[in-house]
Structure formats: C-alpha cells, structure tokens
Structure 1
Amino acid sequence: MLANSNSEKDHPDDISLAGDGFDTVIKAKAAVDSDPKCRNKVSCADILALATRDVVNLAGGPFYDVELGRRDGRVSTIASVQRHLPHPDFNLDQLNSMFNFNGLSQTDMIALSGAHTIGFSHCNRFSKRIYNFSPRNRIDPTLDLQYALQLRQLCPLKVDPRIAINMDPVTPQKFDNQYFKNLQNGQGLFTSDQVLFTDARSKATVNSFASDEKTFQKAFIDAITKLGRVGVKTGNQGEIRFDCTRPN
C-alpha cells in the first residue's frame, strides 16, 4: 500500500479494490495507535487479516479466529501481483501450481475461490469469453448461454471495460455457497472459476460445497487460516508501520 503509482494496489488486477477500503484500514490503524498501550504494536498486515474476517462474517459467512503477530513487509510493487494472484484465464493445473507453491492444496484453492460469492470484477477480465472465445465459438461453450447473453448486455463491446459486474449473479452481497451452485449452472464469471466444475479432478469438491454450506465454510476457514501463514514476517523481520501507506 505504498503512496505512489508503482505499489501493489495500483496493478490492473487490483482495480476493483475500493479506495474507501484502504481508508478504513488507515482509520483502524489510527484508532489502535491512539491508545498509548497499543501504539506501534499492531501491524497493518494484522488489521487487514482481521478486516477480511469481519467482512466475511458481516456478509453472512462464518466467524473464525485470526492468528495474529504478523509484521509488515517493506516491499509493495506492481510486479509482485503477477506472482501471487491467479489469472482469470488459468486452468486447473496453473491454479494448483500457484497454490501448491504456497503450501495450499487443491481443496484449499477451491474453498478460497468460493470467496467469489461476493465482490465484483470488470468486463475486460472476461470479455473474451463472451465475444471472441475461439475461431469456432464466439461464446465460451462452458458458459450458460443465457448467462453469456446477459453478460453481453451488461458489457457491450464499445462501453468502458471497467464496468463492474458481480461475481455472483444470484446473491452478490451474501457470503454463502451460491458460487458453487453457479458453477454447476455454467455461471462462473472467469475461466478460472468455471474450470473448477468442468475439470473432473475438481468437480466432486465443487459439488460437495454446493450441496453442503457447512462443509464449504469449514474448508474456507481451514484454507484462509493456512493462507494467512504464507510469507508471514515475525520477530526482527519487516516492521510495524506507523503509516499503512508507506514503509517507516
């Protein structure tokens, strides 16, 4: 979260991150540091982890304990995003490779993908699937046709490609297992979403999460707890920032 145009939040893949979300983190950090007993003892990384849990819970998802004690890194660059965020066009092998590299299983990856039950993306991240998929198919055949035609109405070719589209067309503001039911119906917005159902190796897990929300919630808690341990800095590593927008 550096205050320049080369920080992680400035990458095109992060364009959907709302500015007021960063402001909320900054305000939370200021509120914690206003107590002399807590000043410079809580990292921005921990605040982000807690904010994630609270957003999930406030949207109707599970409440879970957050492991604390992270320190903040000193590097935040656009280049780092490509190494850590899956691309919307990824297939299952590419998804598994990225998550396995960070110690996460295929089940973890599918459970974390379920977070697409809330939030939104932009037309330019999936427009190829509805207009120019291949020489033989203008529309990706793994997409439900009616859903694809609805997306075309929401994302005309000659309109700003940054128009926001809900990731979940059914319950976009509720953290539930609808995402997996959408995949069963050919309504995964990204290729990397729909492939979880079209690939036989992951289909059973999607069906399991679609049929039992508690199973999904437990898997999500396990996965996001493991994700929260990736690249953690403790002890003398990193720092606790005074200002979340820049290193000390």
Structure 2
Amino acid sequence: MADVSRRLFVKGAALGAATLSTAGILAACASEAKPAAEEPKADAEPQTQAPAADVLTPTKAPSADTASNFEAMPDSITTVGTTYENLLAAIEGETGATAKYTAYAEAADKEGFDQIARLFRCTADAEKIHIELEYNLAKEIDPATEKPEPPTIEPHGSGVNLISGANGEIYETSDMYPSFIKKAQEEDNQKAVQVFTRAKLAEAYHAERYLDAYNTIDTPSDDTYYLCPICGYIHKGENFTACPICLAPKESFTAY
C-alpha cells in the first residue's frame, strides 16, 4: 500500500506541475497578444466627481441654558463684576481687538497676504458689532456710559498675528464670555445673556478662521469671507444658507 500511495503522489505532483507550466505559457501568450492599455486623454472627463461640501443649514439657535460649551475654564483669569461692569470690560476688550485686527490687516496687505488681510478686516468689523450690542445695553443701564479710546497696536508678521488673534478669541469664547454669561444669568438680565452668548459663540468661529488661515498661510484659497450683521459670525466659502448663531439669512451677510 505504501508503494502504491507513493506512486500516486508522484504521479499527481507531476500532473500538477505540467498543468501549472501549461497555464503559465498560455498566460504569457495572452499577455503578448493583448494590446497595451491606451493612455487616458488629457481632456477626458473624470470618472467620478468629488462630493459637494455639506451645506450649513441651521434651524435652531444655540442657547446658554442648554448648550454644552458654556463652562468657563477652571483656571479662569477673568475678573467678574456686575453685569454692567462686565459690559464695560467686554467693550474695552472688543475695542482693543478691533484696533489690533485693523493693524494686522494693514500688515498682511504689505506682506501680500490678500486673503488674510480680508479676514482681519472682516473680524475687526465683527468686533464692532459686539461693541455696539454691548454699548447700547450698557447705556440702557447707565446713559452716561462712554466708549473707551482704542489702543495703539504694533503688528508683527502675519503668522504671529494670526496666532495672537486666535489666542484672544479662544480666551473670550472659553473664559471671559462664559463668566459674564453666568453672572448675567444670576442677575436675571436676559438681554445681557443674549448679547454675551452671541459674542461668545462668534469668537469661537473667529478663532477657527484664524487657525485655518495660519495653517494655510502659504497655500491660501480665494474663498470669500461672509460676516453676519446681527451677531458677528464669520463664514468662509459659499456652503451655507444662514447664520448658525442667530439664524440670519445668507442674503443679509457682508462679503469680504
């Protein structure tokens, strides 16, 4: 039995080798007979198209009472006073930011960063919206309220200016405004809650725009920036229909 099994094994191996050899020869012949694939034409239509970007279509405005991103930083550096005092502090901070971004825009122009200059001007105008909202509310509390004088700003290179701007916006959205909102809630000043809330949420988007510009400083796009006239939200590009903060329609936005 062992000799028979051995002979069958050897015979099977020989047949298998012959089959593989024949298959290899046939494959080689087929390869030689098959014409080479044609090079794609330069003007040929692409086989697939990139999916369109999702369009921002907000239907509900965020609320300080229900949203999860209104907690102030545990190591807060914000001095909290009365809501009126907090309004004055916010006005002063936004006035400084406006002056800073205006100077940064001029520096970006000189360096040839057109899109960054447009972003800084757009953000400076957004801060002016916050100033007016806060100033008008402060005057309701004390009609003698006056606006502070803007500081003198010495800009640096656009890369540093973008990080400086982002740091300021992150502080406002994660520390200053959440602290002021909490105090306004304690005092049951709903107007102040709304004003601070809209500013707080807008600052987060400002920081995002600055970091995006920083990361793409040498490879900028030609996208337009759009400014919401109600709350100061800034959108980059065309893919939106309304403001995600106050729901103002795209048609009301200012283009930069």
- TM exceeds 0.5? no
State the structure with more CA Rg. Answer: 2
Question: TM-score, normalised on structure 1?
Answer: 0.24
Of the two structures, which has the highest relative contact order with CA contacts closer than 8 Å and spacing of 6 or more?
Answer: 1
Q: Decide which structure has greater helix share.
A: 2
Question: TM-score, normalised on structure 2?
Answer: 0.23
